[in-house]
Amino acid sequence: MSKAFVKEDDAQDVPLVVPARPPLPPGTPNYVTPRGLRLLQEERERLARQRDALDELADEGERRRRHAVLAQQLAELDARLASAVVVDPAGQDPEVVRFGATVTVSTEAGEERRYRIVGVDEANAAEGRVSFLAPVARALLGRSLDDEVRLETANGVEVLEIIAIDYEQE
């Protein structure tokens, strides 16, 4: 039988772990809010506790598989923490949309929407937290109260009017 079909070493059974974090474009700073940094640190602590608890697993193969997954997740998270640039929203100009702002806009139909501009790891559309790299955030950044912005969407161009800018602490 060919060596290609013989399993010689279980170490080759390391699982492929797909990165869980959205990538940052090359040269883009990893901006985070103080809340975003705290969430990353809490996630790191949780993963480290999970790694430490692996010794209790009886199945050696499962222990090695989970250890490899956690090691890769921790390495990815450590890289994000090391590159984090904390931007305190309290230090931003309250008249201009910047990182950390909560922006309230009005659509042409009179609907109000709120977006908080945050780091890529903190983004959560369901909570209205958008990455500073998202199209809506890029359209809003640098704008002021009463400015109108044009946003390209899948349904065409949408015009949004900025009706409030807030840098409330979380």
As to burial, measured by CB atoms within 10 angstroms (0-12 exposed, 13-18 middle, 19+ buried), residue 156 is exposed
Fold of 89-166: Chitinase A; domain 3 (3.10.50)
Which tens digit of pLDDT belongs to each residue from 137-166? 999 999 999 999 999 988 889 999 999 999
Residue type, 2: S
86 against 91, higher pLDDT? 86
**Residue that the structure tokens 């390209």 belong to:** 152
In tens, the pLDDT along 122-141 reads 999 999 999 999 999 999 99
Domain ranges of the chain: 29-86, 89-166
